[in-house]
Structure 1
Amino acid sequence: MADAWAQVLGLPDIGINDNFFTLGGDSLLAVRAVALCRRAGVQLTVRQLLSEQTVAALAAALDEESHD
């Protein structure tokens, strides 16, 4: 996820606690980031990114979903 975010935001790297929107993300970039994540095999939705705005929070949410 961090690599996808870095790519769409044009940044060299992203920390797991960096907020996507604080780094300059918007809803259109979120769609692009989600598409890149899905291509890499991460089943993520735009809604999840809008709700959980850091890589760490998204990973925890996705992990929790997989255990439900």
Structure 2
Amino acid sequence: MKKTKAALCVALMLLTALLFSQSSAKVCVSAKGRKYHTANCRTIKSSAITTLTKEEAIRAGYEACKVCRP
């Protein structure tokens, strides 16, 4: 019983950490594009980019890049 509770606590802690790390994840957008990318995505390497949080990019209407899958 104690092992089950301990495993559940660890799982909840990891899930919480994952959720918080994703909520502040930084993504990149270009001035003319409509997708958001990881910083090292090959499709925006030569573009002038702006860094936002993933949530800001989604609220602004950007969609995830299908190449880098941020």
TM-score range, shorter chain: under 0.3
User: Which is helix-richer, 1 or 2?
Assistant: 1
TM-score (norm 1): 0.26
TM-score (norm 2): 0.26
User: Which is strand-richer, 1 or 2?
Assistant: 2
